[in-house]
Amino acid sequence: MNYAEILINIRKISRAVNLESKRLEKEHGISIPQLLALTFLKGQANYQASHKAIKDFLKLNASTVTGIISRLEKKGMIAKLPRLNDRRVSLITLTAKGAKILESTPYPLHHQISDKLESLSKEELQKLTDAFHAINDILNIDTSEENAEELS
């Protein structure tokens, strides 16, 4: 495989995620990160989590997660509940409307990928993991979101 093939394959992955994101937004009015946040909340005790827990799960910076939470709150899919012992801190909780959206959204692309990855051997999974780590290092993906915010 030459460099061009690698770049083409990266572009195909990017395009597939982009198309899935646009389809989800158009059909259900929700983005992939918003869907992931709702899915995370559904799996938590009392359907609640802190801003930090959501941030850590999504692996996004705080300001990006704040935007996701704000948009979900405006849509009525989540609510912020002040903690009883510290009113400065809010717990984010899934609402009935948010739960209903989770039931109506199709099986997302990342779940389809997960299903296929489960069929791979440990060695194949390790090769893929190593390859993605190398791509992340080449593209400097760990800091790309922070850099994008600095540029805007």
User: What single letter denotes the amino acid at residue 143?
Assistant: T
Mean pLDDT for all residues in the chain: 86
The CATH number of residue 77's host domain is: 1.10.10.10
Give the domain extent around 58. 3-119
User: What single letter denotes the amino acid at residue 14?
Assistant: S
Residue 47: predicted pLDDT: 97
Does 35 map to a domain? yes
Domain count, the chain: 1
Q: Determine contact, residues 30/105, Cβ cutoff 8 Å.
A: yes
Low-confidence ranges of the chain (pLDDT < 70): 1, 107-110, 142-152
Rg (CA), the chain: 18
Residue 142: predicted pLDDT: 60
Judge if pTM exceeds 0.85: no
